[in-house]
Structure 1
Amino acid sequence: MVHVADEKKPELHVFEKLESEVRSYCRSFPTVFAKARNEKLWDREGREYIDFFAGAGTLNYGHNNPRIKQKLIEYLMNDGVTHSLDMATEAKEGLLQKFEQMILSPRGMDYKVMFPGPTGANSVESALKLARKITGRQTVISFTNAFHGMTLGALAVTGNKFKRQGAGVPLHYTVSMPFDGYYGEEVDTTEYIERYLEDNGSGVSLPAAIILETVQGEGGINVASFEWLRRIEDICRRYEILLIVDDIQAGCGRTGTFFSFDEAGITPDIICLSKAIGGFGLPLALTLFRSDLDIWEPGEHNGTFRGNNLAFIAAAEALDYWESGSLEKEVSAKSERVRQRLEEIVRSNPSLQAARRGRGLFQGIAFPQPGMAEEVCAEAFQKGLIMETSGPDSEVAKVMPPLTVGHEALERGLDIFRDSVDAVSRRHVK
């Protein structure tokens, strides 16, 4: 996450006076936003910004998507139910049927859908609880640089030291293992993991689950290879460990296919979805799991806002984007263009020793010099581009526009990114 210096701008005085110091993104982007459409935002002074942040991956279909907005307006004007806990509503029924038709059935996935609460952390918490309930085991294996949420269970499987310290209590019952590439390309970390599991003297008990992201977004856009994912799945099957894929940021088309693991050919036991699944930036989370794993007792996991019917309407409409395959093709073409442009930026600034990372519309450039990615993102903001950083030391500048970004805006945003890297490079390289 990028933070520029806290400037005491007059328009931010309300936030500085009344809002907690825990606020973060408004420090990175010190203006008051008033309007948004697809890949663009405008502040109340009328200045336009291209959005390469997309609500941290929530706005895959852009700001105020007109198709989804129209459905929401119609639903509200017809006095549709907005809050329902887990009661049956037409809106939920429609989403469940469409999700089965568009996503699960074509993939041969016999999964139950759980509405755990409105956030990604809610989905992760329910996944961890279910895995422990099914297996009767307590330990969960997670990975270096993982990020799964800010509640205690999700935080326990998160790698970031700063985030973990915020818990204020010990975070138990998890073991962190090296992610793919943690020791370099030459080391297969699945061999390391399996050695711990097979050795009775390792001190690591048989876990209930392994939880992973196929692309670690907040951890620095670290991409797991498909081969590595398949080897992790094989370990899970041989040791009767449940495989949980956290697809909260990488899913819903961010890497090109609806699920980020589609091309890897793996079948997770449990899948966590949130962020873009709400379609319109509305809070929604789903926990998917194989039907034979549905051993919950009624009410054993619940939450007041798990029945967000406006999000059900928006999510169902957003799924139509995946019917024809055209969006997937568009994302593939745009992703290739982003790859080309980022590699050009890296090549044109060899002294920075930077590196491109990522796949799909989930890419970025890693800068080894401390603070440089933050400086690049701050420069980009001044030029009209919204970007954030990621990684344990905020060393990666992320390119994460809406999937529906227009080609002209995409190129202009990449031009600003290039110019920002060049400007920062000139300041640092003499």
Structure 2
Amino acid sequence: MDIFKKQESNVRSYSNSFPVVFQSAKGCWLETGEGKRYLDFLAGAGSLNYGHNNPQLKEALVDYISQDGITHGLDMHSEAKANFLTALTNHILKPRELDYKVQFTGPTGTNAVEAALKLARKVTGRTNIVAFTNGFHGCTAGALAATGNKHHRGGAGTPLNGITRIPYENYADGVDGLVFFETMLNDNSAGMDKPAAVLVETVQGEGGLNVASNEWLQKLSKICRQNDILLIVDDIQAGCGRTGTFFSFEPSGIVPDMVTLSKSIGGYGLPMAIVLLKPELDKWQPGEHNGTFRGNNHAFVTAAKAIEIYWSTPLFEQHISERSQQVSQVINKVLHRFPSLFSQSKGRGLMIGIECSNGEIATQIARRCFERGMIIETAGPNDEVVKFFCPLTITETELENGLNIFEAAVEDIAQQTIKKAS
């Protein structure tokens, strides 16, 4: 551990909660050099929806590398890119009757968000962006401006401008953010510059697994259409099946003008990010938004294979639904047993969690889970939500194992609370 303490910046975070050195990983398991195994209910913060070292994806990648396939190609044409675009079109876009062009950005989610915001401003000629309370969109300046989290915003070192923030659904009792938004748009003295776009997570990840209802999303989409405002859905964490469908917005029936994807779009945990945009919005000049690593051909290979394997039939969605119900049963059980510790279930699909009475309880549960052999994190404004984020490919038995660890951790905290009270 000394090399990390001496050489790595204090900015690291996950390693503070999970202070061991991992050596290998397979499926939903992480293993140290000493052979200690941990169930992974973090999954690269949603980057490993198909698990660690997925054998079918690994085989495709190894075959490609052994044949000296292109690794780095900027935005030049390659067979790997063509195969990915074909798989995305045939298995994702066409079955959902979505007509999008694909922009390859730099390799991280924040790159995709930056590109989407720039394009919205370029197309509309307006500068203001509407974002929501508890939203998280990345840590580069433009994406960070749209992010609500005080801790992350505090690291900017510069004013973060160009954003009007409005309340997300159910942000506070009696507060309807969309009524407020619509009123502001129609009041010439409201002082809000007409936005170029609205940026929204249909399920807020880092913000605490807050779920926007279909009705709320439909109303937001209608407001945007009526006012010539672009609607951007940030599906970086909630996409690629995490909420039960490939895109998180599918149940609502809305069609965003742009969608940002990263994390699990690469399939294997390899860096990759894209913006899906309606064809009429593609007003970029060549090279106007670029990035050296926007052509990760290894990610194209595993992304295409993941789509072909998991999204060519409805079976994977059915598996996610069954595993989600399995988690929900345990959450409902502990909600009933320990009403003083927990308040409600949060999220959708396998982007699901439980809200604790406070952040201290959630942190203690996560710590006890780690001691018992499971990696799990917290989310929310005060880290009050325990966040179940296992790989979507997890088996029923493996998930039961993790849920048993969680329940045992809860029992520990409940007993500790009783002792303190007495």
Q: TM-score range by the shorter chain?
A: over 0.9
Given candidates 95, 104, 121, the residue that maps to 1:115 is 104
* Structure 2: runs of 5+ lacking an equivalent: none
Percent identical residues: 52
Separation (CA, whole Å) in 2 of partners of 1:270 and 1:32 = 39
Preserved CA contact (<8 Å) 2:359 2:384: yes
Separation (CA, whole Å) in 2 of partners of 1:230 and 1:368 = 32
Aligned residue number for residue 362 of structure 2: 373
Aligned residue number for residue 77 of structure 2: 88
> Secondary structure of 1:350's partner?
coil
Q: 5 Å matches for 1:155-174?
A: 155-174=144-163
- 2:251 counterpart of 1:263: yes
Aligned residue number for residue 132 of structure 1: 121
Separation (CA, whole Å) in 1 of partners of 2:272 and 2:359 = 36
> Secondary structure of 1:175's partner?
strand
> Secondary structure of 2:130's partner?
strand
> Secondary structure of 1:345's partner?
helix
| 1:342-379 per-position Cα deviation (integer Å, ceiling 9, x unaligned) | 11111111222432111100111111224111111011
> Secondary structure of 1:371's partner?
helix
Aligned residue number for residue 300 of structure 2: 312
Aligned residue number for residue 405 of structure 1: 394
Separation (CA, whole Å) in 1 of partners of 2:175 and 2:76 = 50
Given candidates 332, 342, 347, the residue that maps to 1:358 is 347
What's the TM-score once normalised by structure 2's chain length? 0.98
Q: How many residues align?
A: 418
Instruction: Name the amino acid aligned to 1:401.
Output: C
Separation (CA, whole Å) in 1 of partners of 2:340 and 2:110 = 40
Instruction: Name the amino acid aligned to 1:290.
Output: K
Instruction: Name the amino acid aligned to 1:30.
Output: P
Given candidates 182, 192, 195, the residue that maps to 1:204 is 192
Deviation at 1:183, TM superposition (A): 1.6
> Secondary structure of 2:362's partner?
helix
Aligned residue number for residue 28 of structure 1: 17
Aligned residue number for residue 371 of structure 2: 382
What's the TM-score once normalised by structure 1's chain length? 0.96
Aligned residue number for residue 3 of structure 1: none
| 1:296-330 per-position Cα deviation (integer Å, ceiling 9, x unaligned) | 00000000000000000000000011001110110
Preserved CA contact (<8 Å) 1:349 1:422: no
Deviation at 1:422, TM superposition (A): 1.7
Separation (CA, whole Å) in 1 of partners of 2:227 and 2:6 = 54
- 2:276 counterpart of 1:294: no
- 2:41 counterpart of 1:60: no
Preserved CA contact (<8 Å) 2:359 2:385: no
Per mean C-alpha deviation after superposition, the further-off stretch among 187-196 and 39-48 is: 187-196
* Structure 1: runs of 5+ lacking an equivalent: 1-11
| 1:204-252 per-position Cα deviation (integer Å, ceiling 9, x unaligned) | 1110000000110000111111110000000000100000000000000
Deviation at 1:425, TM superposition (A): 2.1
Aligned residue number for residue 43 of structure 1: 32
> Secondary structure of 1:128's partner?
helix
Aligned residue number for residue 4 of structure 1: none
| 1:40-92 per-position Cα deviation (integer Å, ceiling 9, x unaligned) | 11111101111111100000000000000000000000000000000001100
> Secondary structure of 2:340's partner?
helix
Separation (CA, whole Å) in 2 of partners of 1:74 and 1:352 = 50
Instruction: Name the amino acid aligned to 1:121.
Output: T
Deviation at 1:187, TM superposition (A): 4.4
Preserved CA contact (<8 Å) 1:39 1:406: no
Aligned residue number for residue 239 of structure 1: 227
Given candidates 171, 176, 183, the residue that maps to 1:195 is 183
Instruction: Name the amino acid aligned to 2:301.
Output: I
Instruction: Name the amino acid aligned to 1:322.
Output: W
Aligned residue number for residue 143 of structure 1: 132
Aligned residue number for residue 228 of structure 1: 216
Separation (CA, whole Å) in 1 of partners of 2:186 and 2:415 = 52
Separation (CA, whole Å) in 2 of partners of 1:323 and 1:79 = 28
Separation (CA, whole Å) in 2 of partners of 1:370 and 1:153 = 29
Aligned residue number for residue 392 of structure 1: 381
Preserved CA contact (<8 Å) 2:203 2:212: yes
Separation (CA, whole Å) in 2 of partners of 1:373 and 1:160 = 18
Separation (CA, whole Å) in 2 of partners of 1:209 and 1:422 = 46
Deviation at 1:410, TM superposition (A): 0.1
